Amino acid sequence: MTPQEMKQLAELLQTVPGIKSIELQDVQGLAQLLRESPEIGSIEVKGWFGTGVVITRTAAAPLPAPAPQVFHHAPLPPGQVEGRESSRGAVVAALKEIKSPMVGTFYMSPEPGAEPYVKPGSRITPGQTVCIIEAMKIMNEIEAEIAGVIREISVDDAQPVEFGQVLFRVDPNG
C-alpha cells in the first residue's frame, strides 16, 4: 500500500460512523501488521454499534510449532526395557502426545452435531485436522504432526484447555 493510498484510507475511515480518531499512523500500523504477519487474513474496521477492529486469521496459516518437550525420568532397573513387549517380543514404542499449542476451548468437530474429526481408533496422518481450538473468537484447526492411531482423547468437547495440555495420545506404530 503506497503512502498516498494509506492517507486516502485514513481520510475515508474518518467518515465511518462511530470511528472518529483514526490517524494515518494507525492505518500505517495496520498495513504493517498485515505485511509482517502472514497468518492474518484481513483487518476490518467497523463503525456504529460494531465499533472496533476485527482481525481474522487465514485458514491456511501454519500454527506455531510447540516447543520440543524434554522428559527426564528415573533410570530403569537393569534389564528392564522401556515400553511394553508384544507377543513376538518386539518392543512397542510409548504413546506420543498431541498437545494444545494455545489456550482456548477444545472442539472435537467442525460444528455442533457434526461427526468428530477423530475418535479413539482413528488412523491419522501428518497435516490432518484432529480438532479445533477457539481462541479469542478465532477457530484454529489443530493438525497432527505425527502418523499413527488415536488411542486416547484426553479432553471433553467444549472444554477449556491450556497451552501444552495433552489433547490426544497416539500410537505411532498402530
Structural domain range at position 31: 3-57
Query: Using one digit for the tens of pLDDT, what is the confidence trace for 4-48?
Result: 777 777 776 666 655 555 566 776 777 777 777 777 667 666 554
- How many domains does the chain fold into? 2
* Predicted TM-score (pTM) of this structure: 0.48
Contact predicate 101/142, CB 8 Å:
yes
Copy the grid coordinates of residue 104: 482456548
Residues 155 and 102 in one domain: yes
Higher pLDDT, 81 or 35: 35
Question: Is 76 part of any domain?
Answer: no
Q: What is the mean pLDDT of residues 109-131?
A: 93
Question: Is 10 part of any domain?
Answer: yes
Q: What is the mean pLDDT of residues 147-151?
A: 94
Question: Is 72 part of any domain?
Answer: no
CATH number at residue 160: 2.40.50.100
Q: Is the pLDDT of residue 103 over 70?
A: yes
- H/E/C letters for each residue in 15-39? CCCCCCCCCHHHHHHHHHHHHHCCC
Nearest to 23, CA basis, from 38, 13, 34, 33: 13
Higher pLDDT, 149 or 77: 149
